[in-house]
Structure formats: C-alpha cells, structure tokens
Amino acid sequence: MVPLIAATLDFQEGWLVEPMRRLDDEIIDPFHERTVIPARSVSKYEDDSEGLTEYAPIHSSILQSEIQYYSFSVNSSTGLGEYYEYLVFMTGNICLQPDNLNSSDNDSLVVYYSFNSLILTNLEDSLMGKFEYGYFQALAEVSVSSTSSVLYIVVQAPQSTNLTDTWSYEIGVSQNDLVHQWDSRLFVEIVDTDDHSALIVTGNLTLISSNHNVSQYNSSLSNYELLVFQNEHIDYFATLNESWCAVRNGPSLMLTGDYVTSYTTRGGSLRQQFYVPGLNSSTQYIGYLLYDSNDLTGSPHGGVLYSHFEFETMSDDACALVYDLDFCDEVAYSVPALSVAEYNSADALKTLYDDQARSLFSNFSKGLQQIACNTTKDAIFTPLGSCETCSELYKNWLCSVTIPRCSTRNITGYLHREANASRSTFIDETVIPVTDYYEVLPCVNVCQIMTRDCPAEFGFACPQSNASIKLSYYWDDGGDYATCNFVGDCSAVTSSAFIVQVAWKLLLVSIAFITMSV
C-alpha cells in the first residue's frame, strides 16, 4: 500500500513546512469475523474504554489473549467525507512483540470496530482488521443521520502458550488523515560513499523552484528522520518492517542529530541531504527514512515509514566524499583523495578542486561574451537555448572532467588510474592521489547537451562510436552503481546506452581552444 504524498511546501517563519500527506485509495477491505466476548453490561465496558482524540495516538501494552477497549467521539463540524457521512481513519503500529513470532495472521493483534456499542459485549457484527508486518489501517464511516456518533474500537491479542507474551502497540484515529503510514516507495537516493561516510538525500520535495536560496530553510526543524543500522539487523524488522514505531525504536547506530543535514537543489529539485560520518570501510549498512508528525511539544506523534534501503562503504582511503562546492555546485561524489597533509580536511579538499575548475572557466566566460546573446530571436545562435543555459552546461561539463569521480570498486566502465597517471597534471602534481583508484568517467550526454545548447562558434563536438566514447566518457547501464558520472540537472537528458549512437563529431575542443577563440 502506497499512501499519496501531497508535494505542498511553504516557507513560514524561517522553516520549511513539510509535505502534507493525503490518504490514498487502497484502504484495506474490512471483513467480518464471529467473535463473542463473555457477557457483561455495555455500560461497564464503556467505563473501561479509553478515549481516543483527533490525531493523538495512544501507546499501550497488551498480554496474550487480553482485550482492550477504546472509543472516539466523531466531530460533526470537521473532517473528510461527503455531506451525508462522516469518515474516521484508523491506524496502528506494533512497536514490540514477543520473540520468535512469524507474520501469520494467528500471531498478530486484531482490531474490531463499530459505531454500535454492542461491540463491547459481542464482536459478532463488528468489522475487523489485522496488523500485517506491524501495520494496521482501516476506514470507518457513519451516516450523518445516525444516532450513534461514537466509534468503538477493540484490540485483541492472540492466544499463546507463553502466558507472559506481551505486545507493545500504538493506535490512532483521525477524521482528516492517517496517523501512521507505511509507504513502500524507496524515498531516498545514495549519492555516494567513501571509506568512512555516506551522502544520502530524500526524494523530491518539489514545488519549490531550484532558484530558491536553500539557506533560508532550517533543516533542524525538518520532520524527516534517517536511521542507519548494521547490516546484521536486516532481519530485525522481518515481521515489523511496516511499523513506524518499531523502526524508530530499533537499535540504530546514529540518529539524525548525529549527521550533518541541510537542503540542496542539486539536480534541479529540492531535497534534504544527510551526511553520515563515522562508518567502517567495506561495510554494508541498511537505512530507513521516516517522517515524524510532531505534537506541540515537538515529540513524535505518529508518522510515515518508507521502505528500507542498503548501501556499502568503499574499501580504502583512495577516495574522499565532497559536496556543496561553491562554484561546481552540482558536484557531490567521491574524488581522488590528497596525500598532502595541508589539504587533508574535507573543506580544504573541495576548495582545491573547486578553485581549479573556477580558474579554467574564466577563459570560456570571456569567449561567451563575444556571442550575440541579447539580440532578436532570428539573430540569436539558437532559439531553443540561451547564453545562460550554455554557460551552465559548460560549467557542469568542465566540473565533471576537472573533478573526476573516484571509486575503489572495479565495475564495467570504470577506468583504472595509477596514483601518478590521472586524467590531468593538476591531479598528479597538486592533488597527488594517495593510491591507485578507479575513475567513474563522465556521462557522454553531459558533453552532448553542451554541444546541443552552445553556439557553434565554439566548435564543441562529442565522440561518435562506443569505442571512442569509452576513451573519455561512458554511459549509464542502469545497474546498482552508476557506470558514468552525470553532473547537472538530469531532467535535461536521459543517460542511456542508445544515446551514444547519435552521430556526433569527435570532441576536439579544449580549454586552450576556448582561449584562442577570444
């Protein structure tokens, strides 16, 4: 089940209002089951029931075979529904359960619900739903003309031979939203890793233009949480992997407060990014992204759990992860690490690479000033582009070839580089790599879109055949790891193998050629 996420973002009082969630269409089908509670007066059960309120989940523990009661008074002046009915959204999470349970129905908590108070003495005519992988949701509806405006909910634990078996769970109701949600999407992207850290971003938090200054948003007020676990815990949530509270209370290595987090518009869309330090080399990890719905005190009050993801750190210190460069602002990946002690900090390393690209760009900038940009449409070099677009595309291409992407993995398309035989003398003589590494070559369509949208006077051209492409570029094979390095807004072009068959001339242009053109 995949709840829809409304991509509605706003800026209020200096912090980012997160996406507003909407209920999707796949509410589980409730069904009947004949169960009878021992005879007892309805009023006595009503006295024992605990009152649920709007979007305020209750946390409780329940023993095997035990039954617990709840009630919720419908508010006739608010909520979702047609003019002839009221809707109540019910959700629940199992936070902890007895060991050695499987995911079968017989081992799960059961929820009965009805607007008829007779449910408190006889479950025969009630609707019933079950927790599956730690998650429960259902929809209750009642006519506006009904004489009953109280929803009764009964939670029952399964029978067990172990009389001390205990379940810890949350139950929540709302007339406007799902208090707990499970989203099967993988709403994160592993940007890159090195031997001790990882850079991870959320999915697209869009509807805010990439032209916005992300510094105005305070990531410390974000409701997104990233939890990272040792790979040995991959089966820890095997029967509770759809439970927000089970994952949130699990044995994570670090919490979001231990990371460096901020917002970024790399790639043309707004995302929250997490820099995760303190990892071990050649180690696999699993992670979960959560969205917490906080109450007025800032405490988690239900939320969304997304599908888990996995990543692995690199094997040695040949590469170092850099991101948020000043000039090459689309660069975020591991680069050849320095052996020079003066530049062994992350900030010094990215500044060294960034300054080199900026200095090379100045020659192109002078050449572009000679092009008729601010002129009539019939006189401009192309009606489809602009000098600003060309400048950005050239900058991305320049950054991709000046700042090579580094890996310790031997993957098809990667080019082995000896420590003293990199793609430029700048890297060999200034960076002085620590050891041999594999270069993830630039994607060929970083070159192609530049030649497409820049003036022909520059003479830009790209290699034609696969054999010539592989000397300087590569393409995306769509595997677990990127087989080429794309720098820029990926919505501008699709990096796929068939594109390389387009008849482009061999790339002959260089920075020196740009200088001579001025």
* Domain range 183-312, CATH class: mainly beta
pLDDT confidence of residue 209: 45
pLDDT tens figures, 420-447: 999 999 999 999 999 999 999 999 989 9
pLDDT confidence of residue 420: 92
pLDDT tens figures, 235-291: 888 899 999 999 999 999 987 788 999 999 999 889 999 999 999 999 999 999 999
pLDDT: which is higher, 248 or 496: 248
pLDDT confidence of residue 382: 58
Helix, strand, or coil here: 141?
strand
Q: Say whether pLDDT at 230 is over 90.
A: yes
pLDDT tens figures, 317-366: 999 999 999 999 999 999 999 987 766 688 999 999 999 999 999 989 88
In contact, 205 and 271? CB cutoff 8 Å: yes
pLDDT confidence of residue 411: 93
pLDDT tens figures, 79-112: 766 677 899 999 999 999 998 776 555 678 999 9
pLDDT confidence of residue 259: 92
pLDDT tens figures, 299-312: 668 999 999 999 99
Q: Say whether pLDDT at 10 is over 60.
A: no
Q: Which CATH number, 2.40.50.100, 2.60.40.10, 2.60.120.380, 3.10.129.10, labels domain 23-176?
A: 2.60.120.380
Mean of the per-residue pLDDT values for the chain?
A: 81
pLDDT band, residue 500 (cuts 50/70/90): very low
Specify the range with the lowest mean pLDDT, choosing from 264-273, 371-380, 476-485. 371-380
**Using the 8-state DSSP alphabet, how is residue 345 labeled?**
S
> Which residues partner with 172 through β-bridges?
91
| Own/partner pairs, 462-465, CB within 8 angstroms, 24+ separation | 462/504, 462/505, 462/506, 462/507, 463/504, 463/506, 463/507, 464/503, 464/504, 464/505, 464/506
Domain ranges of the chain: 23-176, 183-312, 319-517
pLDDT confidence of residue 492: 57
pLDDT confidence of residue 44: 47
Spatial distance between the Cα atoms of 219 and 448, rounded to a whole number of angstroms = 36
pLDDT confidence of residue 27: 28
Share of the chain above pLDDT 90, in %: 54
Q: What is the pTM of this model?
A: 0.82
pLDDT band, residue 7 (cuts 50/70/90): very low
Helix, strand, or coil here: 306?
strand
Spatial distance between the Cα atoms of 136 and 289, rounded to a whole number of angstroms = 19
Closest to 88 measured CA to CA, from 30, 44, 48: 30
pLDDT confidence of residue 505: 29
